[in-house]
């Protein structure tokens, strides 16, 4: 059994129990070095003996800054977004900010609600991976008057004044993959992602541009009536299973807009036994992805892909946001694009 410590609810009680004035304690909790070392030591010694958790809500009531940073992602069920989230959290930990995460649940309404919640919680700023085409620009514009916003990964269809963007340079990353694929085999066709956000548009455009610059004709894989969906694996599997069943694309090179689609496509290819084994002649089918999903290397064959610099994107987004929170920068808008690194694996 644990010796239960004396429970202290308010700072006032604490100041009495410890023999120090409340305002001094208030200063101590905001910055230990703001009080005399001997006082600081005295406070910490007594603090270790009692159970006091200062009231965050009351704390933030009067400060202009709440120390809270909101992060909004479309889904928790996507390891790309959770990786981004962890990168941001880890960076925030170092700078003393607390992260409040909200999922928009893939819906514009959820996104607007998440923004409103951050506003009502007096967040100092927000890093948002927006839904994209669906996003309510108005909600962002209004929120922008309350706190700075940095978009990460993807950006809204229309620009929002005074917001920054950090993402991957899709032109560079896609070009790198296309380049590699053309150098080592047949030029790729492109299996786009459902038109959910700016990446969907940019990557398809980057593919077409790179192909033309190589003097090749871009070819887009028909996705039939597949409707918008965040279930990328099912999407990739459904589309390619249909094609393979009709003997289409069975010995070509396919570049998927992201790894989750590639995982679905690879599954379809395996069902049709299109990947051959060591020692057998190469069937010609190659499938590449984009993002370096954590499980891509465990697929069989492992997915060739472009690894986004998620760590860098998270750090940079936080850095830009904090600059704005501190009022160190009032620019209209900053865009930071990070390069992705080609990861050559077995699938190509």
Partner DNA sequence: CGCGATTGTTTACACGTGTAAAAAAACTGG
Partner DNA sequence: CCAGTTTTTTTACACGTGTAAACAATCGCG
Question: How is the chain split among helix, strand and coil, in percent rounded to 5?
Answer: 45, 15, 40
Closer CB to DNA, 40 or 90, in the complex = 40
Q: Which of residues 47-86 bind DNA (CB under 7 A)?
A: 54-55, 58-59, 61-64
Instruction: Centre a 10 Å sphere on the Cβ of residue 164 and count the other Cβ atoms it contains.
Output: 26
- Whole-number Cα distances in Å, 23 to 77, 127, 165, 241: 45, 34, 41, 68
Peptide bond into 176 cis (omega under 30): no
Q: Which of DNA, a copy of itself, none interacts with 121 (beta carbon under 5 to 8 A by kind)? A: a copy of itself
- Residue 264, H or E segment: helix 259-271
Decide: is 16 part of the binding site for DNA (CB under 7 A): no
Cα distances from 56 to residues 52, 67, 118, 238, in angstroms, run 12, 10, 15, 49
Residue 291 DSSP one-character state:
B
**Residue 24 contacts DNA per CB under 7 A:** yes
Q: Which of 6, 10, 30, 55 binds a copy of itself (CB under 8 A)?
A: 55
Q: How many residues bind a copy of itself (CB under 8 A)?
A: 59
Q: Using CA atoms, how far apart are residues 131 and 110, in angstroms rounded to an integer?
A: 10
- Of 139 and 206, which has the nearer Cβ to a copy of itself? 139
Q: Which stretch binds a copy of itself (CB under 8 A): 135-143, 169-177, 183-191, 328-336?
A: 135-143
**76 is a contact residue toward a copy of itself (CB under 8 A):** yes
284 near DNA (CB under 7 A): no
Q: Answer with the entry of a copy of itself, DNA, none that 51 interacts with (C-beta below 5 to 8 A by kind).
A: a copy of itself
Min dist. Cβ of residue 15 to DNA (A): 8
Spatial strand order in the sheet of 286-288: 189-191, 253-256, 286-288
* Shortest distance in whole angstroms from residue 66 CB to a copy of itself: 8
What residue 95 binds from a copy of itself, DNA, none (CB within 5 to 8 A, per partner kind)?
A: none
Query: E-assigned strands of the chain?
Result: 6-8, 50-52, 68-73, 98-103, 125-128, 149-152, 164-168, 189-191, 253-256, 286-288, 305-307, 335-338, 341-343
What is the contact mask toward a copy of itself in residues 219 to 258, using x (rule: CB under 8 A)?
--------------x---x---------------------
Q: Which residues bind a copy of itself (CB under 8 A)?
A: 2, 4-5, 7, 51, 53-61, 66, 75-77, 79, 82-83, 85-86, 89-90, 98, 100-101, 103, 105, 116-117, 119-122, 137-138, 141-142, 145-146, 233, 237, 263-264, 266-267, 270-271, 273, 277-278, 294-295, 298-300, 302
């Amino acid at each position: 059994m644990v010796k239960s410590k004396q429970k202290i609810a308010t700072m006032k009680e604490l100041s009495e129990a410890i023999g120090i004035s409340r305002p001094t304690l208030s200063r101590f909790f905001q910055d230990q070095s703001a009080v005399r070392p001997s006082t600081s030591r005295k406070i910490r010694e007594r603090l270790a003996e009692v159970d006091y958790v200062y009231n965050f809500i009351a704390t933030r009531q009067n400060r202009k800054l709440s120390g809270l940073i909101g992060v909004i992602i479309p889904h928790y069920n996507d390891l790309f977004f959770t990786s981004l989230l962890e990168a941001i959290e880890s960076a925030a930990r170092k700078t003393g900010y607390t992260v409040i995460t909200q999922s928009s649940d893939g819906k514009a309404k959820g996104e607007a609600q998440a923004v409103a919640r951050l506003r009502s919680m007096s967040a100092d700023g927000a890093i948002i991976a927006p839904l994209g085409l669906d996003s309510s620009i108005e909600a962002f514009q209004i929120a922008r008057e309350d706190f700075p916003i940095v978009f990460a990964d993807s950006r809204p269809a229309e620009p929002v004044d005074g917001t920054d963007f950090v993402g991957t340079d899709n032109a560079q990353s896609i070009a790198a993959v296309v380049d590699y694929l053309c150098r080592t085999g047949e030029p790729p066709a492109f299996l786009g992602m459902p038109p959910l956000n700016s990446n969907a548009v940019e990557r398809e455009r980057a593919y077409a541009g790179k192909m033309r610059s190589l003097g090749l004709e871009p070819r887009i894989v028909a996705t039939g009536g597949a409707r918008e969906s965040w279930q990328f694996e099912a999407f990739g599997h459904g589309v390619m299973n249909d094609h393979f069943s009709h003997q289409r694309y069975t010995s070509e090179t396919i570049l998927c807009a992201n790894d989750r689609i590639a995982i679905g496509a690879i599954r379809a290819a395996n069902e049709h036994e299109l990947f051959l084994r060591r020692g057998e002649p190469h069937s010609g089918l190659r499938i590449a992805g984009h993002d370096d999903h954590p499980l891509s290397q465990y697929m069989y064959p492992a997915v060739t892909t472009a690894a986004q610099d998620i760590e860098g994107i998270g750090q940079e987004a936080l850095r830009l946001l904090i600059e704005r929170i501190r009022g160190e920068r009032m620019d209209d808008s900053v865009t930071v694009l990070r390069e992705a690194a080609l990861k050559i694996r077995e699938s190509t």
